[in-house]
A and B are shown apart, each in its own frame.
Chain A
Amino acid sequence: EAQVTQNPRYLITVTGKKLTVTCSQNMNHEYMSWYRQDPGLGLRQIYYSMNVEVTDKGDVPEGYKVSRKEKRNFPLILESPSPNQTSLYFCASTSNSEANYGYTFGSGTRLTVV
């Protein structure tokens, strides 16, 4: 089944403790991106990647890092999480020939930083 898989689905952590949210897609997509969704603010792009070793900042990149060492994986790293990073996170992917045909989203990761 074609899908984008995120792990974990739920995570509670403490301020300052480094964490990684994984994202993997099995559709051989070139494009991958991360979003956070907050009440009243909608989805906002954190980082995106157009291919292996090609990443760039989205609208709200502060406090996050990403890497794209393999085509299928695009982990989101929080080096020192803070409470304002408590949010619902989504990873998404699409083919570069279908970027204008819509993205497929993972099931989301609900992160709480205390």
Chain B
Amino acid sequence: RKEVEQDPGPFNVPEGATVAFNCTYSNSASQSFFWYRQDCRKEPKLLMSVYSSGNEDGRFTAQLNRASQYISLLIRDSKLSDSATYLCVVILNQAGTALIFGKGTTLSVSS
């Protein structure tokens, strides 16, 4: 099995809110983990890589829990421009060629 599961949402939040997305993956041998952002009908764009130690990029914080096979993304102080679909992506192999995408979580930030 090679699945990546996400809550599809939509998450509807006001500007300034903090919102958290979760993702679980089934293959314990998975190597690398990412969050991508996809605007409607456009290409996915890399948001950030995810590490066990956690990583932060401005208002965005990502965390990996290998034991629970769980990935999270936290967005603080949401902006209207954060409205998009967020894709959890897992790379299964060390070569980096086997990508498995979650179906995405939709975020809508309103004023």
* A105-B43 in contact (CB<8A): yes
* A48-B46 in contact (CB<8A): no
Q: Say what secondary structure dominates the interface of chain B.
A: loop
- Number of B interface residues, CB 8 Å? 22
- Number of A interface residues, CB 8 Å? 27
* A102-B43 in contact (CB<8A): no
* A33-B31 in contact (CB<8A): no
* B41-A99 in contact (CB<8A): no
Picked from A33, A44, A101, A110, the residue with its CB within 8 Å of the CB of B97 is: A33
Distance of B57 from chain A, by nearest CB (Å): 13
The 8 A CB mask of B60-91 against A (1 = contact, 0 = none) is: 00000000000000000000000000010001
* B42-A48 in contact (CB<8A): no
Distance of B68 from chain A, by nearest CB (Å): 21
**B32 interface residue, CB < 8 Å from A?**
yes
